[in-house]
Amino acid sequence: MSALANSCARSVATRRIVAAAAALLVVGVSARADPPPDADSHFSAWFAQLKSKNGASCCDVVDCRFVGERIVAGGYQVRFHEADTAAFPSGWVTVPDDAVRPRPPGGPMTAVACWFNDRIYCFFGEPES
């Protein structure tokens, strides 16, 4: 095999290795489910099980946050505690019906909303007492 052919073969192999490593990194990061910054770390497993209506992780592309909640005539509304940042809205935000999910047992004692692209993606109300 010529030196040029060897060089091309190594270049292709290197690109494949880099692409595979990048894919693994993306999968690892997207599968991570981080609780909100003010959450107790022992809730990590609870956050990891949160799923959207289509079965995707609620925490793979968005940040979930503890929120205030209220029930109004049209359904749920939430208020983000971090409304002073540009990343989250201020005031009460209507939760889309398709974002309301059954709450898994064992989580924190507050409502949780996940926000992405100016939309609530997942919402888990306060646990029933």
Condensed to tens digits (0 to 9), the pLDDT of residues 68-127 reads: 999 999 899 999 887 667 778 889 999 999 999 999 998 889 999 998 888 998 999 998
- Cα–Cα distance, 125 to 58 (Å, whole number): 14
Give the residue carrying structure tokens 């983000």.
Answer: 80
What pTM was computed for the model? 0.68
- DSSP H helices, 32-123, are 44-48
| H or E, element range at 15 | helix 3-31
Q: Is residue 25 scored above 80 in pLDDT?
A: no
Amino acid at 1: M
Q: What is the pLDDT of residue 45?
A: 84
CA 34 to chain centre: 8
